[in-house]
Structure 1
């Protein structure tokens, strides 16, 4: 089978969000809010445990029923995404309540994201081979500026984002929309992602699937390169 199109997940696959501590420090600096060092570190630890950083780790503790229900559908719309992550952030006391909205806003900025070291290399190589490239993401905001800021937008033929369609992975409808956007049949498409649950849904549509490890940028210098060996 010759692969004619490759779909990539965003967070943990092509890009990685900054650390929770970096995220918090950036917002505190922007707001001019000074906290003792020990309090900054402790607040960052609590925000991480709460799962408040989108693209970071999920909540460590079981969520109340109402928040658990919202968490399960957080990627269906911009409103649900903001509500879910802001509710998680609000579980951690901060000196100014407005910081919670600022934290959510920060994670949507290109500065909060870094491409993996081999992202541009692999996308360029696929483009050179004439392979169509799509990005399929469970997300509540427009990630296109992140790709533009980091100089890789021109490699992407189509973006299929859950909040724009009201459908989130692993629902096969989102992958079908992506294949249609590329003009490639599912059986000629490879899905690359870090979540066996969410991204693995592409297999139910007939796509081949390849998984990468969701690790910090410095710890995964060449995790995407094996994709090139899968293209016939």
Structure 2
């Protein structure tokens, strides 16, 4: 099989969200709110346990009844995504209720994301080999500014974002949108992701699939490079 196009997941594959404590600290600083360090650490731990940071840890326990149904469809619209994650955040008391929306807004900024060390190298190498690149993400906001700010956008030919289509992985239709945008048949396409259930849906369309570990940036310096060997 000749791979003519590669689809990548976003969070945990090409980029990683900042740690929860850094996320909270940045928002508090922007708002001019000061918390004693032990309290800040405890609050960040509670937010992480709640699953309040999109792209971070999943909720550690059962979801509140009023959020369970919303959680299942959170990536199908911008409104559902914001409501789900601010709803989880509101399970944790903060000094000012407006901080919950500020936390959500922060996670959409380029400053909150860091590319993996080999992201630009791998995307650039694929471009040099004439391989088309797409990004397929379950997400509730426009991630293109993150790619532009970090210098990755020039290497991406198409984006298929769940909230723009009202469908989310593992639905094969989202992968099909990406393949159509690249003009490449699924059978000539490789999907690279970190989540077997969601990203593995590409296999049902006929794509080859390769998984990487969702790890902190410092712990995964070259997790994407094996993709280049798969292309040949």
The answer, yes or no, to whether TM exceeds 0.5 is yes
**Corresponding residue SS for 1:210:** strand
**Corresponding residue SS for 2:210:** strand
CA distance in 1, matches of 2:40, 2:131: 45
Aligned to 1:23: 23
CA distance in 2, matches of 1:25, 1:116: 22
What number of residue pairs does the alignment pair up?
A: 232
Which residues of 2 match residues 92-103 of structure 1 at below 5 A?
92-103=92-103
Aligned to 1:221: 221
Q: CA deviation at 1:68?
A: 1.1
Aligned to 2:161: 161
**Corresponding residue SS for 1:134:** strand
**Corresponding residue SS for 1:209:** strand
Deviation readout 1:95-135 (Å, 9 max, x if unpaired): 10000000000000000000000000000110010000000
Q: Which runs of 4+ in 1 moved over 6 A?
A: none
Which residues of 2 match residues 117-132 of structure 1 at below 5 A?
117-132=117-132
Structure 1: gaps of 5 or more residues: none
Aligned to 1:112: 112
Aligned to 1:39: 39
RMSD of aligned residue pairs (Cα, Å)? 0.5
Structure 2: gaps of 5 or more residues: none
**Corresponding residue SS for 1:159:** strand
TM score, norm. by length of structure 1: 0.99
Deviation readout 1:56-85 (Å, 9 max, x if unpaired): 010001012331111110000000000000
Aligned to 2:189: 189
CA distance in 2, matches of 1:72, 1:57: 16
Which residues of 2 match residues 136-215 of structure 1 at below 5 A?
136-215=136-215
